[in-house]
Amino acid sequence: MPRFAEMLFNGMLARGHNVQEWTARKVFFALPAPRACKKWLAYIDQFLVFPLTVKFRLLSQPKDTLYVFADQALGPWVPLVAKRPHVIHCHDFLAQRSARGEYPENPTSRSGIIYQSFIRWGYTKGRNFISVSEKTRRDLHEFLGRLPGFSEVVYNGLNQSFVPATDLGDARSSLGKMLGIDLAQGFLLHVGGNLWYKNRPGVLQLYQAWRKLPPALPLPLLMIGEPPLPEMLAVKASSDFNADIHFIQAADDATLRLAYQAASVFLFPSIEEGFGWPVAEAMASGCPVVTTDRPPMTEVAGNAATLISVSGSAESWTLAAARVVEQSFGLSSKEHEDRITNGISNAQRFDAGSCLNEIERLYRVALGL
């Protein structure tokens, strides 16, 4: 989210607008205090000091000022400017759905449920919304309980330059030397954090099932992201191919771009998402994508990815998904090239400049211009 906010800030600044960033400052939190008190001091900064600061600033703001919320999770502060021109960007409603008990695998604490209700109370006071996908917009309307007068979709723009490798062999050699892994024949790649819906344990199980299929190639699996969870380490330890499973942590942007370029297949079996950046990033990099057959993955992938179902028991899903992955390696040279070309073409929909241009247009609509 900080990257998205930064993109908005710099993008609107570059387009000649006067842009300010308002956020809660560490006032009480900065005071010497026992660690146990820090959380409560942060709450004072956010829910008492910051609203007072905003109300004071509003006294001197021009009438044609647009107030932009980078995420609907900032809902508690929407009522402060609800009667002024404003836009609320919406990314995903997974936390809201979890608080409603829709995901047993991701239970929400009592305090979390109260806080999510507070967030919802805030953003329901808003009038103008921009969602990152049709899926997110449908969720927004459900939680609002109404159709807002202004509700548009603008797909995210890629915040880096992702391009195909000029030489696939060189890309694999460079990445292999960097990581100390033999990647000359290719590899399977996954990029993502440890949030439950990313399904990282499922990636490991899928890989295990795929390697057991004849005539699966003995290619390694690279998982770029946060340190693996204990359950992921357990799956790796029990795998027949644990020596070929590699967790890559703290990868910088250059390493990530190189990994996308060099991978044989990108695996993204997420259960839920708000948008699904990695699908677009991999496609722009010329990497074939295997992802799940539900929105918003299908929105981002278009007709350029191979889709796997998320239904069925864990065992049946793993085997079915592994067979789909194997089909990716059974394509003819022309089919493989067509898939890469379609992916690159599809990823052009997520151009950062076009995204910012459309957002700027909608900001003007919100201002009545």
Q: DSSP 3-state assignment of 23? A: coil
**Would you state the pLDDT for residue 188?**
97
Least confident of 81-90, 123-132, 254-263, 301-310: 301-310
- What value does the mean pLDDT take over residues 196-219? 92
Q: What is the mean pLDDT of residues 76-81?
A: 97
The whole-number average pLDDT for the span 257-275 is 94
For 307, phi then psi, to 5°, come to: -105, 145
Asked whether residue 214 carries a pLDDT value surpassing 90, the answer given is: no
Given this model, what pLDDT does residue 312 score? 73
In the chain, % of residues over pLDDT 70: 100
pLDDT in tens, 216-260: 789 999 999 999 999 999 999 999 999 999 999 989 999 999 999
Phi and psi for 128 in degrees, rounded to 5?
-120, 125
3-state DSSP call for residue 68?
A: strand
pLDDT-based confidence at residue 61 (cuts at 50, 70, 90): very high
Instruction: Give residue 326's identity as a one-letter amino acid code.
Output: E
Which residues sit opposite 67 in a β-bridge?
86
DSSP line for 77-90: GGGGTTTS-EEEEE
> Which residues have C-beta within 8 Å of that of residue 334, sequence separation ≥ 6?
none
Asked whether 302 and 347 are in contact (CB, 8 A), the reply is no
Amino acid letter, 353: G
> Residues 103-112: what's their mean pLDDT?
92
Question: What integer pLDDT is reported at residue 369 of this predicted model?
Answer: 77
pLDDT score at 217: 87
Q: What is the pLDDT of residue 32?
A: 86
Residue 89 banded pLDDT, cuts 50, 70, 90? very high
Provide the residue type at 39 as one letter.
K
Confidence (pLDDT) at 35: 85
Arithmetic mean of pLDDT, 148-160: 91
- pLDDT band for 73, please (50, 70, 90 cuts): very high
In this structure, whether the domain defined by 168-349 belongs to CATH 3.40.720.10 is answered with no
The pLDDT confidence band at residue 167, using thresholds 50, 70 and 90, is very high
pLDDT at 3: 82
Work out the average pLDDT over 118-146.
96
Q: Which of 29-38, 94-103, 195-204 has the lowest mean pLDDT?
A: 29-38
- Can you spell out the DSSP letters for 171-240? HHHHHHHHHT---TT--EEEEE-S-GGG-HHHHHHHHHHHHHSTT-----EEEEESPPPHHHHHHHHH-T
Query: What's the CATH architecture for 2-157+352-366?
Result: 3-Layer(aba) Sandwich (3.40)
Q: How do the domains of the chain map onto residue ranges?
A: 2-157+352-366, 168-349
Tell me, yes or no, if the pTM score tops 0.85.
yes
Fill in the amino acid letter for 233.
Answer: L
Cβ-Cβ contacts under 8 Å for 38 (sequence gap 6 or more):
29
Distance CA 334, CA 352 (A): 30
What average pLDDT does the structure give for the chain?
93
Q: What angle is formed at CA 46 by the lines to CA 45 and CA 52, rounded to 5 degrees?
A: 80
End-to-end CA distance of the chain: 28
Q: Is the pLDDT of residue 78 over 90?
A: yes
Residue 74 has pLDDT above 90, yes or no: yes
Matching CATH topology for 2-157+352-366 and 168-349?
yes
For 277-317, how does the pLDDT look when each residue is reduced to its tens digit (9 = 90+)?
Answer: 999 999 999 999 999 999 999 999 999 999 998 877 778 88
Phi, psi of 91 (to 5 degrees): -110, -55
